[in-house]
Amino acid sequence: MLSWRQALSMLVLGGALCVSAGEGQGAQRPFRLPFDAAPGPGTWYVSQPYGNSTYAYAERGSLYRSGQGLHMGLDLAAPCGTPVLAIGDGVVISVDGRGGAPPHNLMIDHSNGFVSFYGHLLQRPALHNGQYVARGQEVALSGDMYGTCHAAPHLHLEVRDRTTQRLHNPVDVIEADWHGILLLGAAPLTFERDLEAPRRWQSIDDQPPISLGGPPLNDYAQPWPARP
């Protein structure tokens, strides 16, 4: 039987490792996670991956049309009001600017070629353009898309280039144990298949960059599973 001591040791071990994973285990990925707490049902978890998700495919002609049919960011479910941390040192370049993800958003230029974008914030961030923020500094509070706190509360996190017109998979640049983080729930998060290339873009860490306003990348002639 799993004793409470075993369970506790697993939790402690996991928690400690979470911190080290979140804080960066090396120099491969320049950014940290946008939350302080370890992932879990009570704190935060991935609710929709970046890229070629099955949901994005269903919304390719509407909600995600401007993102070439793909989900432009990483959705992290979190209770309304969860402090959002800057994923890296940087300078605020936009507060409630363009970029969508209402009701409030924030954009930070990290001076390393990347810009981070935080959407569905609970309230307007108390920051101003040109303000320096440090890695791990609280910069906002998470909210939900309708500002009600009862409409799937989550943080929408994007990573863009400095033109802000090209988006990258946050998983590629944020240091974390992503496959460990995904171990929650009754089924995996799924990606739409193109039967012409069924292995392509099927993992959270294998997704293409997006050019805003570009042609659809997932208008598949032979999707799997088939959808309208």
Partner 1 sequence: MIASLAIVGAGLTIAAREAAVNWRRPGNFLAAGIPTETYGPPPTPMAALTLKQFETTADGAAVGATGGRAAWELRLRQLTFDGCCVGSWWSADSKSLRFVDRPEGSSQTAMYALPIWPPGELPVVFDGALAASEGEPRFSARPEGDISIVTDKETGLEWPVGTGGNPTLVAPDGGALAWYAATGGRSDVDGFNSFFASALDGTQERSMGGMWGGSLLRFMPDSEHVLALGRQVEGSAVYSLQRIALADGVAEEIAAGSWLSDVALSPGASWVAYMVSLDREQADANGIWLAPTEPKRGPPRKLELPGAYRWRDDNRLVYIPLLPGAPAHAVLQFDALLGKSSVLLDPADLPIRVAGNDWSVSPDGRHLAFRAEEDRCIWLLALPE
Footprint on this chain of partner 1 (rule: CB under 8 A)? 1-2, 4, 6-7, 10-11, 13-14, 16-22, 38-42, 45, 77-79, 81, 146, 148-153, 176-177, 179-191, 193, 195-199, 202-204, 222, 224
Give the nearer residue to partner 1 in terms of CB position, either 18 or 86.
18
Give the nearer residue to partner 1 in terms of CB position, either 133 or 176.
176
CB 66, min distance to partner 1, A: 21
**Residue 149: closest CA among 118, 120, 107:** 120
Q: How far apart are CA 84 and CA 139, in angstroms?
A: 6
CB 26, min distance to partner 1, A: 13
Q: How far apart are CA 114 and CA 161, in angstroms?
A: 5
CB 55, min distance to partner 1, A: 11
Give the nearer residue to partner 1 in terms of CB position, either 108 or 204.
204
Residue-wise DSSP of 22-36: HH-SSSSS-B--S-S
Cβ(60)–Cβ(69) below 8 Å: yes
Give the nearer residue to partner 1 in terms of CB position, either 63 or 212.
63
Q: How far apart are CA 106 and CA 82, in angstroms?
A: 15
